[in-house]
Structure 1
Amino acid sequence: MGIGVGIFLAVVGLVLMFAVDVNIPGIEDNTLGLILLLAGIAGIVLGMIATRNANRTRTVEERHIS
Protein backbone atom coordinates (compact mmCIF):
# COMPACT_ATOMS: atom_id res chain seq x y z
CA MET A 1 0.00 0.00 0.00
CA GLY A 2 1.43 3.33 -1.01
CA ILE A 3 1.13 6.76 0.46
CA GLY A 4 -1.64 7.71 -1.97
CA VAL A 5 -3.82 4.76 -0.98
CA GLY A 6 -3.24 5.60 2.68
CA ILE A 7 -4.35 9.18 2.13
CA PHE A 8 -7.43 7.96 0.25
CA LEU A 9 -8.39 5.57 3.06
CA ALA A 10 -7.88 8.26 5.69
CA VAL A 11 -10.07 10.73 3.78
CA VAL A 12 -12.84 8.16 3.25
CA GLY A 13 -12.65 7.25 6.94
CA LEU A 14 -12.97 10.89 8.00
CA VAL A 15 -15.90 11.41 5.65
CA LEU A 16 -17.68 8.37 7.09
CA MET A 17 -17.01 9.51 10.64
CA PHE A 18 -18.02 13.16 10.37
CA ALA A 19 -19.87 14.00 7.17
CA VAL A 20 -22.13 11.08 6.26
CA ASP A 21 -24.87 9.32 8.14
CA VAL A 22 -25.21 5.95 6.39
CA ASN A 23 -27.26 3.05 7.68
CA ILE A 24 -25.30 -0.11 6.88
CA PRO A 25 -26.88 -3.20 8.46
CA GLY A 26 -24.62 -4.72 11.09
CA ILE A 27 -21.91 -2.02 10.92
CA GLU A 28 -21.83 1.42 12.46
CA ASP A 29 -20.60 4.09 10.07
CA ASN A 30 -18.45 5.71 12.78
CA THR A 31 -16.71 2.40 13.52
CA LEU A 32 -16.09 1.73 9.83
CA GLY A 33 -14.78 5.27 9.44
CA LEU A 34 -12.41 4.84 12.37
CA ILE A 35 -11.10 1.54 10.96
CA LEU A 36 -10.49 3.11 7.55
CA LEU A 37 -8.83 6.14 9.15
CA LEU A 38 -6.45 3.97 11.18
CA ALA A 39 -5.69 1.79 8.15
CA GLY A 40 -4.96 4.92 6.14
CA ILE A 41 -2.63 6.33 8.79
CA ALA A 42 -0.82 2.99 9.00
CA GLY A 43 -0.50 2.94 5.20
CA ILE A 44 0.94 6.44 5.14
CA VAL A 45 3.48 5.64 7.87
CA LEU A 46 4.52 2.32 6.29
CA GLY A 47 4.77 3.94 2.87
CA MET A 48 7.02 6.66 4.24
CA ILE A 49 9.23 4.10 5.98
CA ALA A 50 9.49 2.02 2.81
CA THR A 51 10.36 5.08 0.74
CA ARG A 52 12.97 6.17 3.25
CA ASN A 53 14.59 2.73 3.30
CA ALA A 54 14.56 2.50 -0.50
CA ASN A 55 16.33 5.85 -0.77
CA ARG A 56 18.99 4.89 1.77
CA THR A 57 19.85 1.50 0.28
CA ARG A 58 22.11 1.88 -2.73
CA THR A 59 24.60 -0.54 -4.11
CA VAL A 60 27.79 0.91 -5.50
CA GLU A 61 29.98 -1.31 -7.59
CA GLU A 62 33.58 -0.35 -8.19
CA ARG A 63 35.60 -1.74 -11.04
CA HIS A 64 39.31 -1.18 -11.40
CA ILE A 65 40.61 -1.34 -14.92
CA SER A 66 44.28 -2.22 -15.21
Structure 2
Amino acid sequence: MGIGGCIGLFALGAILAFATNWHLSGINMHLVGWILMAAGLLGLITYSSILRRRRLGGRIGADEVVEERRYYDGP
Protein backbone atom coordinates (compact mmCIF):
# COMPACT_ATOMS: atom_id res chain seq x y z
CA MET A 1 0.00 0.00 0.00
CA GLY A 2 1.46 3.36 -1.00
CA ILE A 3 1.19 6.80 0.52
CA GLY A 4 -2.12 7.46 -1.25
CA GLY A 5 -3.67 4.28 0.10
CA CYS A 6 -2.55 5.06 3.64
CA ILE A 7 -3.90 8.60 3.48
CA GLY A 8 -7.15 7.32 1.97
CA LEU A 9 -7.53 4.75 4.73
CA PHE A 10 -6.89 7.41 7.34
CA ALA A 11 -9.42 9.77 5.71
CA LEU A 12 -12.06 7.03 5.49
CA GLY A 13 -11.51 6.24 9.16
CA ALA A 14 -11.84 9.92 10.09
CA ILE A 15 -15.09 10.18 8.16
CA LEU A 16 -16.50 7.11 9.90
CA ALA A 17 -15.30 8.25 13.33
CA PHE A 18 -16.32 11.91 13.24
CA ALA A 19 -18.75 12.66 10.42
CA THR A 20 -21.32 9.87 10.43
CA ASN A 21 -24.27 8.96 12.59
CA TRP A 22 -24.81 5.48 11.20
CA HIS A 23 -25.95 2.83 13.61
CA LEU A 24 -25.66 -0.84 12.66
CA SER A 25 -26.64 -3.56 15.05
CA GLY A 26 -23.56 -5.15 16.56
CA ILE A 27 -21.05 -2.77 14.88
CA ASN A 28 -19.70 0.38 16.44
CA MET A 29 -18.91 2.57 13.41
CA HIS A 30 -16.94 5.07 15.47
CA LEU A 31 -14.64 2.32 16.69
CA VAL A 32 -14.26 1.01 13.13
CA GLY A 33 -13.27 4.54 12.09
CA TRP A 34 -10.65 4.77 14.82
CA ILE A 35 -9.24 1.38 13.83
CA LEU A 36 -9.00 2.44 10.18
CA MET A 37 -7.30 5.67 11.19
CA ALA A 38 -4.75 3.73 13.25
CA ALA A 39 -4.12 1.31 10.38
CA GLY A 40 -3.61 4.20 7.95
CA LEU A 41 -1.19 5.93 10.30
CA LEU A 42 0.74 2.72 10.94
CA GLY A 43 0.93 2.06 7.19
CA LEU A 44 2.19 5.60 6.54
CA ILE A 45 4.90 5.26 9.19
CA THR A 46 5.96 1.88 7.83
CA TYR A 47 5.98 3.10 4.24
CA SER A 48 8.05 6.17 5.06
CA SER A 49 10.55 4.03 6.99
CA ILE A 50 10.94 1.66 4.04
CA LEU A 51 11.20 4.56 1.60
CA ARG A 52 13.96 6.15 3.71
CA ARG A 53 15.96 2.93 3.68
CA ARG A 54 15.58 2.63 -0.10
CA ARG A 55 16.80 6.18 -0.63
CA LEU A 56 19.88 5.49 1.45
CA GLY A 57 20.47 2.29 -0.45
CA GLY A 58 20.34 0.18 2.68
CA ARG A 59 23.81 1.38 3.63
CA ILE A 60 23.36 3.61 6.63
CA GLY A 61 26.80 4.87 7.62
CA ALA A 62 28.57 3.11 4.74
CA ASP A 63 28.90 6.21 2.56
CA GLU A 64 32.20 7.26 4.11
CA VAL A 65 35.24 6.85 1.88
CA VAL A 66 38.61 6.28 3.51
CA GLU A 67 41.74 6.86 1.44
CA GLU A 68 45.09 5.56 2.56
CA ARG A 69 48.26 6.95 1.03
CA ARG A 70 51.77 5.62 1.58
CA TYR A 71 54.84 7.58 0.76
CA TYR A 72 58.21 5.96 0.33
CA ASP A 73 61.51 7.74 0.37
CA GLY A 74 63.75 6.72 -2.48
CA PRO A 75 67.09 4.90 -1.86
Name the TM-score, length of structure 2 as normaliser. 0.71
Question: AA paired with 1:44?
Answer: L
2:72 alignment partner in structure 1: none
Verify: 1:33 aligned to 2:33, yes or no: yes
CA distance in 2, matches of 1:43, 1:2: 8
1:7 alignment partner in structure 2: 7
Write the mapping of 1:1-66 to structure 2, written as runs, cut at 5 A: 1-57=1-57
Q: Quick one: percent identity of the two aligned structures?
A: 33
Name the SS for the 1:10 alignment partner: helix
Name the SS for the 1:24 alignment partner: coil
Name the TM-score, length of structure 1 as normaliser. 0.80
CA RMSD of aligned residues (A): 1.6
Residue segments in structure 1 that go unaligned for 5+ positions in a row: 59-66
Segments of 4+ in structure 1 off by > 4 A? Answer: none
The higher-RCO structure (CA 8 Å, 6+ apart) is 1
